[in-house]
């Protein structure tokens, strides 16, 4: 009898792949060096903050700002190093999540179907969907881009090349730290946005799903943990709204703005305060469907 999770058959390719990565990371304490630690921290920032948070999420999924195409493709390569799939697939899946967010049995990764399902279960299961169809429907502008299509097909190769380079430089210790441990940290940081940031924390805005602002996810996921803020104003390139809501990726976007590389940066709407929760009075923020943002309060363009 086939093993299932929430009625879905396990995808044994993903089960084995992610199990090997997590098992390999357990060797890290016995292979420690300061150089290996430095490599891990740098690659974690490059792949998780620049690649996933800035590029896959805020740029490609929600179009919170614009950068030159060559830089977009370079940053997409950084996202491919996070081992979360190609950009087109990632963007389409995430837009589908926003469309059906926290609808039990319909959202790809809602904690209403189980905390660990939302964290990793849906990743290691056959969700029974045609990914090419989802991509064509939810990320048509990326499907129309021949460079992004090519990168999407080749998403597994960057980690292989980086792994070989690390092995040539410092042997297995550099591979264990720079590939296995770094991937475990980055993957789980992203997965906690789906699980913990829909379960723990506080809500600043009333939204139609259970998104929360979870401080520790905000730290490890480079600002993505201020998830209730994001669900309220999806196009905003800034997720941390209060002074204590540290948003490292927003700081990077500000650097790109100062260098003249980021433009049309979308900010929090001027009307944001009217959607805040105030005591017993709850106001519902108008949420935008992915990319088509007409229903969302008009964002503020931020000048460098």
pLDDT band at 34 (very low <50, low <70, confident <90, very high): very high
Mean pLDDT of 158-179: 98
Maximum Cα–Cα distance across the chain: 61
Residue 2 in domain: no
Model confidence at 302: pLDDT above 80: no
Provide the whole-model pTM.
0.91
Calpha distance 64→80 (Å, rounded): 20
Residue 160 in domain: yes
Q: How much is the pLDDT for 139?
A: 96
Model confidence at 286: pLDDT above 90: no
Mean pLDDT of 243-265: 97
Q: What is the SS3 assignment for 40?
A: helix
Q: How much is the pLDDT for 290?
A: 37
Share of the chain above pLDDT 70, in %: 91
pLDDT band at 112 (very low <50, low <70, confident <90, very high): very high
Span 57-66, pLDDT tens digits? 999 999 999 9
Q: Residue 19's domain spans which residues? A: 9-302
Least confident of 52-61, 256-265, 281-290: 281-290
Q: Which residues contact 147 (CB under 8 A, 6 or more apart)?
A: 69, 73
Residue 4 in domain: no
Span 44-54, pLDDT tens digits? 999 999 999 99
Residue 235 in domain: yes
Span 135-167, pLDDT tens digits? 999 999 999 999 999 999 999 999 999 999 999
- At how many degrees (to 10) do helices 146-153 and 87-99 cross? 100
Residue 1 in domain: no
Residue 26 in domain: yes
Closest by alpha carbon to 228, among 246, 243, 209? Answer: 209
β-strand partners of 301? 266
Provide the domain count of the chain: 1
DSSP-assigned states of every residue in 212-276: -B-HHHHHHTTTTTBHHHHHHSTT-S----STTS--HHHHHHHHHHHTT--BSEE---TTGGGGB
């Amino acid at each position: 009898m086939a093993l299932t999770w929430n009625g879905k058959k396990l995808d044994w390719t993903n089960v084995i792949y992610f199990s090997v990565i997590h098992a390999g990371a357990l060797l890290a304490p016995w292979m420690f060096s300061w150089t290996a630690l430095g490599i891990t921290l740098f690659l974690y920032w490059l792949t998780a903050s620049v690649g996933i948070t800035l590029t896959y999420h805020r740029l490609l999924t929600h179009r919170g700002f614009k950068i030159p195409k060559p830089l977009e493709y370079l940053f997409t390569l950084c996202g491919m190093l996070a081992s979360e799939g190609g950009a087109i697939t990632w963007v389409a899946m995430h837009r589908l999540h926003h469309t059906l967010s926290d609808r039990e049995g319909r959202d790809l990764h809602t904690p209403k179907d189980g905390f660990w399902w939302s964290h990793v279960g849906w990743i290691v299961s056959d969700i029974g969907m045609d990914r090419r169809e989802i991509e064509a429907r939810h990320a048509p502008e990326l499907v129309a881009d021949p460079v992004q299509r090519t990168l999407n097909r080749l998403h597994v190769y960057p980690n292989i090349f980086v792994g070989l380079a690390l092995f040539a430089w410092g042997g297995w210790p550099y591979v264990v730290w720079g590939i296995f441990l770094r991937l475990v940290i980055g993957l789980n940081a992203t997965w906690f946005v789906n699980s913990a940031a829909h379960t723990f924390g506080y809500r600043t805005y009333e939204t139609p799903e259970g998104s929360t602002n979870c401080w520790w996810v905000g730290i490890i996921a480079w600002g993505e943990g201020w998830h209730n803020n994001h669900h309220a104003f999806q196009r905003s390139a800034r997720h941390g709204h209060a002074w204590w809501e540290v948003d490292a990726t927003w700081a990077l976007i500000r650097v790109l703005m100062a260098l003249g590389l980021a433009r049309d940066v979308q900010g929090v709407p001027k009307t944001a305060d009217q959607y805040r929760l105030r005591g017993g009075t709850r106001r519902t923020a108008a949420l935008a469907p992915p990319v088509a943002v007409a229903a969302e309060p008009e964002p503020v363009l931020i000048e460098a």
